[in-house]
């Protein structure tokens, strides 16, 4: 069984990197918090600290896309 990452060890960049990887592999429809959390091995609660993080992620996705 794969060890789950501790939410406190995840950075904003971890979420962005996983989001970009998922976007490239499966398209925008799957770039959502819950599926990304599952891929990162954490709960979606580790993401929901602030909506500012989400906005930053989407800006980065658009900038890199």
Quick check: 4 pLDDT over 90? Answer: no
Q: Given pLDDT bands bounded at 50, 70 and 90, which one contains residue 64?
A: low
Domain count, the chain: 1
Would you put residue 41 in left (φ > 0), alpha (ψ -120 to 50) or beta?
Answer: left
Average pLDDT of the segment spanning 26-46:
87
Residue 1 within a domain = no
Q: What's the confidence (pLDDT) of residue 22?
A: 92
Q: State how far the Cα of 53 lies from the Cα of 12, in Å rounded to an integer.
A: 7
Q: What's the confidence (pLDDT) of residue 8?
A: 58
Quick check: 21 pLDDT over 90? Answer: yes
Q: Which domain range does residue 29 map to?
A: 11-64
Residue 42 within a domain = yes
Quick check: 50 pLDDT over 50? Answer: no
Residue 60, both tokens: 């980065």
Contact 13, 40 (CB under 8 A): no
Residue 6 within a domain = no
């Amino acid at each position: 069984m794969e060890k789950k990452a501790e939410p406190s060890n995840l950075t904003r960049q971890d979420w962005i990197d996983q989001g970009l990887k998922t976007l490239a592999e499966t398209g925008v429809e799957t770039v959502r918090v819950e599926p990304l959390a599952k891929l990162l091995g954490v709960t979606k609660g580790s993401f929901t600290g602030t909506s500012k993080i989400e906005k930053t992620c989407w800006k980065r996705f658009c900038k890199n896309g």
